[in-house]
Structure 1
Amino acid sequence: MQPLELKAIVAVAAGVLFGTPAQAQSLSGIKVGEEISSASKLAARPLLSRSVASHKERRWKLPDGNRLSVAVDPETKRIVYAEKTWSGGANGKPADFPGFVYGQTTLADIRAHAQNNGFAFKEHLIDVRPDGLALFNAYEVEGASGLVVTFVTKLSRKDDERLRTGKANVDLNRAARLDAIILADARDLDTIWGDAKLTHEAYKPIRWEPPRHATLASRQGGECHLHGGRPLEAAPTALSRRQSGSGGHVALWATLLLRHLSLLMSQEPCRDGTP
């Protein structure tokens, strides 16, 4: 067998087993950078469109109950932002990022796989929602120039309440679970969310591939440590009931989370419990 033939066979086999980068870095087959006309292949129910900054956003409800939204550059008509949000149902739990599962994969798992804590947009650190608190951790995708993936993890309303009132310690790393994945063009994301960022000192892009170990950090007893070796505990400060009233809730809560996420960015990544 000629060397070139062997290389071709190996390349085809790798594509079958692991998928190509173009196939993998997508949400329901939709890729950042392609024309919006590609969305016509979706077997999904269209929802009402809306505007985000200078972009028009189109949305769909997928057969598994999850929702997909994309934002399109008004000049090029190409997709610059795509987001898939979990419906909460069992059918929609498998995520597009290989090995991740909505409602199950934790922030600790994500950090362990990436081997660093990524970066966060200062103007888009958290989202206070009626059903809990959403956190945003972003990474450039290795080998895909200009592409950023953002993992949206969510605290339950119960854990959010515990964290705000100080009734109990809440480890954000294991309490926050995957709720959405966003793929976006880096320059357009800076336009939408602002270019000011908090970046982990050991930052590097994430590999779009399954975790090296089937059992992730949150289910192996791995730990997220400060540089001094102390395990991460609750947020450094808790809001009192008076402070967390409707008048000052969002501003004070944002200040608290800014402190906490600044601390997260100075930590070593979570260990996955393996040598």
Structure 2
Amino acid sequence: MLMNWRRRLTTAIAIAVAAIAIPALSLAQTIENLALGNDKAALQRFGTPKKTETIAGYTTNLYRLPSGIDFSATFEISTSRMVSLEGLWAGSGTGPFAGFGDFRFGETKLSDIKARTASNGILYTNVPLVAANASGSIEFSTFYDVAASANVVRFVTSIDREPLKTLRQRYGDKAYENAGASAVLRSLTVASRDYLERSAGKARVLDIGYGPVSWSPQTAPTNVNTPAISLARIKPSQLPVFRVYDGPRNFPDFSGRDSKFSTHRTRITNGMTDKPTFAGEFSVVQIGCGSSCSFAYVANNRTGEVYAAPVGGEHNLSLELKYEVGSRLMISQWGDYGANKCFVQFFSFDDGDWTELLKREVGALDACSKTVTENILSERKI
């Protein structure tokens, strides 16, 4: 999985991100009102550390704060300057603010982080994207450079055992791809890049649309200074294919490799009778499943292999898909009837894998009565 992810990212293109206002550095990049570069003397206000550890010229002090946060501060012994700060929340339910904008421990989701930052961040090849704990929970790590600094922020989100079990029952082998709305923020770390790369390594890969994040001080949600990206600036031409298949049709192997799609063999086969319509060699087949309900498959006209679309079914009602034969970009629009919201979501399709690029709420549910093109053109900044 890691190699596939790296391969996708190395072929990624830059999606334009609008300018981000950068707050004064004196107000930014602080956790518990402590900033990188502060002298270790600033730790005296936290009292006696719960634990102290010294390794290779650096000392880390761990404090249990009244808020329930486990706060760690690491300083370089030779200079007494802070190089890493971490806040960790192990409690249940919604915890305190994390210090980054309106993010809250136990509440902010992985999907919120990716929506705010408009990308999946940095892949450090020495750090696993997904890690399992002895408790049965799963952790996800996402890294971003902090704008106008030499620092990196790391968000760790996790799913506990029972929600993970439900996710697997619902999505099967697609569980991790749909984890964004279930994984909640557990820790936030800001560290100098030099210190971080002592353990993470210097080799790193940037995701599609990647850009440094602007660190705003803790504020009420209505005052958060967030990145802005116009949906209309994400174009099919940014994810081109290099040839369009025009050879003979090769249909799925419904008795073998593609047997899990055999229930819809007739609809899929009929949908492949014309020329490819997506990503150079694929046909998109959308099938109804009830009132406002549909799901979709993409079938390879060259190999016959079939893949499920990343959206569809009762959780993505009024589904509309927009795509082109010369591009790997799939744009979807769908409604969340329970939340009364309409969303536009962008995906890249690479070697049989889907990568979510961006997801935006474009209005209440009735916004889905407009076409996806209309909503993209009318949406300016979110």
TM superposition score normalised by structure 2: 0.51
Letter in 2 for 1:73: E
Q: CA–CA distance in 2 between the matches of 1:224 and 1:177?
A: 21
Cα deviation, residue 158, structure 1: 2.1
Quick one: which amino acid aligns to residue 359 of structure 2? C
In structure 2, distance between residues paired with 1:78 and 1:27: 15
Contact 2:94 2:105 in 1 (8 A): no
Residue 120 of structure 2 is aligned to residue 117 of structure 1? yes
Work out which of the two has the higher radius of gyration on C-alpha atoms and give 1 or 2. 2
Question: Aligned-pair RMSD on alpha carbons?
Answer: 3.0
Instruction: Say how many residue pairs are matched.
Output: 217
Structure-2 residue corresponding to 1:260: none
- For the 8 Å contact 1:60–1:67, the answer to whether it is kept is yes
* Corresponding residue number in structure 1 for 2:155: 151
Question: For residues 150 and 23 of structure 2, what CA distance do their matches in structure 1 show?
Answer: 21
1-side partners of 2:55 and 2:181: how far apart?
Answer: 31
Residue in 2 that maps onto 1:134: 139
Residue ranges of structure 1 left out of the alignment (5+ in a row): 1-17, 229-235, 237-262
**CA shift digits 1:176-227 (9 cap, x unpaired):** 11111000001110112222223203210011232559xxxx9756465422
Q: What's the CA shift for 1:45?
A: 5.6
Task: Give the direction of change, closer, same or farther, for the CA distance of 1:168–1:45 in structure 2 (3 Å limit).
Answer: farther
Name the counterpart of 1:269. Answer: 358
Secondary structure of the residue aligned to 1:201 is coil
Cα offsets for 1:26-79 (capped at 9, x unmatched): 11011112111111133x662111245652211100111111001222322211
Q: Which amino acid aligns with 1:168?
A: R
The answer to whether the Cα contact below 8 Å between 1:112 and 1:272 also exists between their aligned partners in 2 is no
CA contact (8 A) 2:23 2:215 kept: no
Please show how residues 241-260 of structure 1 align to structure 2 within 5 Å.
Answer: none
Which moves more between the two structures, 52-61 or 201-210? Answer: 52-61
Question: Which runs of no fewer than 5 residues in structure 2 stay unpaired?
Answer: 1-21, 217-223, 228-335, 364-378
SS in 2 for 1:123: coil
Structure 1 counterpart of 2:211, one-letter code? K
- Asked if the contact 1:154–1:177 (Cα under 8 Å) also holds between the matched residues in 2, the reply is yes
User: How far apart in 2 are the matches of 1:35 and 1:121?
Assistant: 29
Over residues 226-245 of structure 1, what are the superposed CA-to-partner deviations in whole Å (9 max), with x where a residue is unaligned?
225xxxxxxx9xxxxxxxxx
SS at structure 1 position matched to 2:101 = coil
TM-score of the two chains, using structure 1 as the length reference: 0.69
Matched, 1:98 2:219: no
Aligned to 1:40: 44
Aligned to 2:252: none
Query: In the alignment, is the contact (CA less than 8 A) between 1:225 and 1:269 conserved in 2?
Result: yes
Segments of 4+ moved more than 6 angstroms: none
Structure 1 counterpart SS, 2:215? coil
Which of 68, 71, 76 aligns to 2:71? It is 68
After TM superposition, the structure 1 = structure 2 runs for residues 181-260 of structure 1, keeping only pairs within 5 Å, are 181-209=188-216, 210=224, 212=226, 222=343, 224-228=345-349
Task: Considering fraction of residues, name the structure with more helix.
Answer: 1
Q: Percent identity?
A: 22
Matched-pair contact (CA < 8 Å) for 1:65–1:89 = no
C-alpha distance in 2 between matches for 1:177 and 1:83: 16
Residue 59 of structure 1 is matched in structure 2 by: 62
In 2, Cα distance between equivalents of 1:29 and 1:156: 30
Aligned to 2:35, the other structure's residue is in SS state coil
The amino acid of 1:167's aligned partner reads Q
The farther-off stretch of 24-33 and 83-92 is 83-92
Structure 1 residues 19 and 45, CA, compared in 2 at 3 Å: closer, same or farther? Answer: farther
Query: Secondary structure at the residue paired with 2:180?
Result: helix
Structure possessing the higher relative contact order (Cα contacts under 8 Å, 6 or more residues apart): 1
Whether contact under 8 Å (1:222, 1:273) holds in the other structure is yes
Structure showing the higher strand proportion among its residues:
2
1:232 corresponds in structure 2 to: none
**Is the 1:53–1:192 contact (alpha carbons within 8 Å) kept by the matching residues of 2?**
no
1:221, 1:73 → 2: CA distance?
A: 49
1:83 matched to 2:204? The reply is no
- Residue 27 (structure 2) aligned to one of 12, 23, 30: 23
Give the 3 Å change call, closer, same or farther, for CA 185–161 of structure 1 in structure 2: same
